[in-house]
Structure 1
Amino acid sequence: MNKTVKISLIVVALAALTYLIVTKAFPGNEQQQAGPANGPMAQKVAVDVYVVSPTAYQNKITSTGTVLANEEVELFSEVAGRVTGISFEEGTRVQKGKLLLTVNDLEMRAQLQKLESNQKLYRDMEERQRVLLEKEYISRQEYDQVSNQLATATADIRALKATLDKAYIRAPFDGVIGLRQVSEGSYVTANTPIARIVDISPVKIEFSVPGRYAQQVTEGQKITFTTEGASEVYEANIYAIDPNIDPATRTLRVRARYENKKEEVKPGAFVRVELSLKDVDDAILIPTESIIPEATGHKVFLAKGGKAQPKMVKIGQRSETMIQIMEGIEPGDTIISSGILQARPGSDLNIRNVRTAE
């Protein structure tokens, strides 16, 4: 047992002696194994920077939208019955008030004829009773009885005529009527769709803009738009702005009107919209790759005193290569434009290239 302890002590002593010899022979070895003396910040981060200066900027909002018909309605019959006449051709233009479809009206016409006959009878009776009343041959009560019968017959005729008028479906406005859903002889109810009529000259362009531009969008402003699959650029005028910003999307709905005289722009089409705002003579623009999205907003790294300094910013419009900064950056600031993935707050910087606004 004593022999084993002695051997263990000798092994430990030899290991300690070997460590001291190696440490003295290679004094930098311990530090290299332990890592840089000042931690990860001791190594400089290679970056390119961009020096900010005021730049003239044509402020534009780019958005997407949809083409809406100026007016659009699905036609239904207000009375149930069998279709006895169709007076339109599918896909043709119709004028307001044109008769489009007739629902069976024979029974209502017969009732109307009966009521009109009764009305004539009561009118003749009322005239005779009035003469007798003036001569005081009858009482006021007897005259009032006939007079009420005449008034009731007249009211019944008006009500029936209003119902009869519903049997004739007419165009509510000038427009193009689409494909019909019924045939002559079919039975329709209030839930049976007949056809759709749309007014496509002019058309409406509906799109949304970020809520922060709400004060800069006004009625009468011009927009340009293109339709999907076409290169032609059209021009329209804003005529209506939603009074509320959508709390879910933080956007403002806007509508513009395009005359569409040739009817080449069809409702339902997808469009790309450009709205020019007031040009800015001293805009702050930086490269888009300098922006770091975060949960609470957007961040950039400034190069100050050879070190990286984070800064929260408020962004505006962007182009393919540049983005407008509304708040957080001043002219003369130096922005890190490349190497931002390696940069950390307080990182020492090795600036390779300096770029300025053209």
Structure 2
Amino acid sequence: MKPIKRFLTVFALAGLTFACSKDELATKKAELESLKADLASINTEIKTLEEEISKLDPEFAAANKKSILITTAQAQKTEFVHFVEVTGSVLSKKNVSVSAETAGRVIEVPAIEGMRVTKGQVLARIDAESIQRSIDELETNLNLAKTIFEKQERLWNQKIGTEVQYLEAKSRKEGLEKSLAGLKTQLDKSIIRAPFNGTIETVQVRLGELVQPGTPVFQFVGESDLFIEADISESFIGVLAKGDSVEVSFPSINKTIQTKVSAVGSIINPNNRTFKVEVFLPAISEVKPNMITVLKIQDYKNPASVVVPGHLILSDTRGDYVFTVENGSAKKKYVKRGMAYKDQTEILEGLTGSEQLVDKGFREVGDDFSVTIAEQ
């Protein structure tokens, strides 16, 4: 019986201990919640008092501002270059209209639009049956004239016959030869050939159409003597001149070259207020007529400018400004901006080029705000 009594006693003590621990835990939790409520109330009272005091005491407000975590960027004293970027097109000085040289009906048009051809390649044929018949007839007459001339020449060499008979036979033969050569030239002109290597832009006749000498048949663009033409705003008149350096990029072939302005137009287009600029294009095998280009033309350069990232410049009713970092505080500096290219902006007044600018976090700070520079 004694072991049983001892077990019951231990069990009773354990239950009493557990009950006491449970009551103590509940008490501590209640006490914690009460303290948290008191802390929230105290923090609210502190914040309210700080705001009230800050309105009455500016020095207190400055001393108790929360420090803002930022990164910085360095203003630079360096060369600033501005470019004009415009779209241009590759053109050819050998952009010609190929016309018919003889009258007749078109019997063959092997050329099609966009087709690349070589010099002398047949583009179209015009019916020349009547010319061919005339050639056949002349060749028959010429053969007879040659025979008569040869016989007359032999007789003349033997001092037989008159000189007039000899000269008449010779003249007839030579006249027929010239007429035959002329007809063969006309026959050759009935075949329209490519004047040089290039591309067929447009086909202006159809099979079976009747053409006359001078009738446009093809618009033909050569592959050599290429140049670039672009329309530039009239606001750049006087800025661009022949010989100026130009950077030209070809987006379709991912290629960039350096070249020069070869001609500047003197007439303003009244429709879009632009003038023409022609840029020299060296021989490049991948470049084709009508290819799109992007021209980057330098129109301004300052070898000693203060340059800052353009996105850091803000504006208010007074003007443009940036935030600099001085002795752990953000300072509002008003500036006069110059030209901008991409994200680089020239500063004409307000900065010396040695300042640290507020970069990340520049929209969260104000004048005299306490700042902390993050490690980068």
TM bracket, shorter-chain basis: 0.5 to 0.7
Aligned partner of 2:332 in structure 1 is: none
Aligned partner of 1:355 in structure 2 is: 351
Counterpart-to-counterpart distance in 1, 2:162 and 2:267: 72
Aligned partner of 2:262 in structure 1 is: 241
Counterpart-to-counterpart distance in 1, 2:127 and 2:98: 17
Residues 181 and 246 (structure 1 numbering): CA distance in 2 closer, same or farther, change over 3 Å? closer
Residues 71 and 245 (structure 1 numbering): CA distance in 2 closer, same or farther, change over 3 Å? closer
Deviation at 1:82, TM superposition (A): 0.9
Greater share of residues in helix: 2
Aligned partner of 1:160 in structure 2 is: 183
Counterpart-to-counterpart distance in 2, 1:193 and 1:251: 28
- Percent of aligned positions that are identical: 22
Counterpart-to-counterpart distance in 2, 1:105 and 1:150: 25
Matches within 5 A, 1:180-219: 180-199=203-222, 203-207=226-230, 214=241, 216-217=243-244
Deviation at 1:103, TM superposition (A): 0.8
- Structure 2: give runs of 5+ residues left out of the alignment: 1-75, 269-273, 308-338, 355-376
1:87/1:101 contact within 8 Å kept? yes
Say whether 1:225 aligns with 2:249.
yes
Secondary structure (helix, strand or coil) at the match of 2:151 reads: helix
Larger radius of gyration: 2
Residues 215 and 281 (structure 1 numbering): CA distance in 2 closer, same or farther, change over 3 Å? farther
Residues 86 and 245 (structure 1 numbering): CA distance in 2 closer, same or farther, change over 3 Å? closer
Secondary structure (helix, strand or coil) at the match of 1:355 reads: coil
Query: Which one of 69, 72, 93 corresponds to residue 116 of structure 2?
Result: 93
Aligned partner of 1:256 in structure 2 is: 281
2:86/2:295 contact within 8 Å kept? yes
Aligned partner of 1:274 in structure 2 is: 296
Aligned partner of 1:143 in structure 2 is: 166
Counterpart-to-counterpart distance in 1, 2:243 and 2:184: 53
Aligned residues: 242
- Structure 1: give runs of 5+ residues left out of the alignment: 1-52, 286-316, 325-333, 338-353
1:202/1:260 contact within 8 Å kept? no
Aligned partner of 1:171 in structure 2 is: 194
Counterpart-to-counterpart distance in 1, 2:181 and 2:98: 24
Residues 131 and 139 (structure 1 numbering): CA distance in 2 closer, same or farther, change over 3 Å? same
Give, as a single letter, the amino acid of the residue that structure 2 aligns with 1:122.
A
1:99/1:171 contact within 8 Å kept? yes
Aligned partner of 1:112 in structure 2 is: 135
Residues 113 and 136 (structure 1 numbering): CA distance in 2 closer, same or farther, change over 3 Å? same
Aligned partner of 1:82 in structure 2 is: 105
2:248/2:259 contact within 8 Å kept? no
Give, as a single letter, the amino acid of the residue that structure 2 aligns with 1:147.
K
2:94/2:224 contact within 8 Å kept? no
1:95/1:173 contact within 8 Å kept? yes
Deviation at 1:266, TM superposition (A): 5.5
Q: What's the Cα RMSD here?
A: 4.3
TM, length-normalised to structure 1:
0.53
Counterpart-to-counterpart distance in 2, 1:211 and 1:251: 13
2:94/2:225 contact within 8 Å kept? no
2:91/2:228 contact within 8 Å kept? yes
Deviation at 1:112, TM superposition (A): 0.8
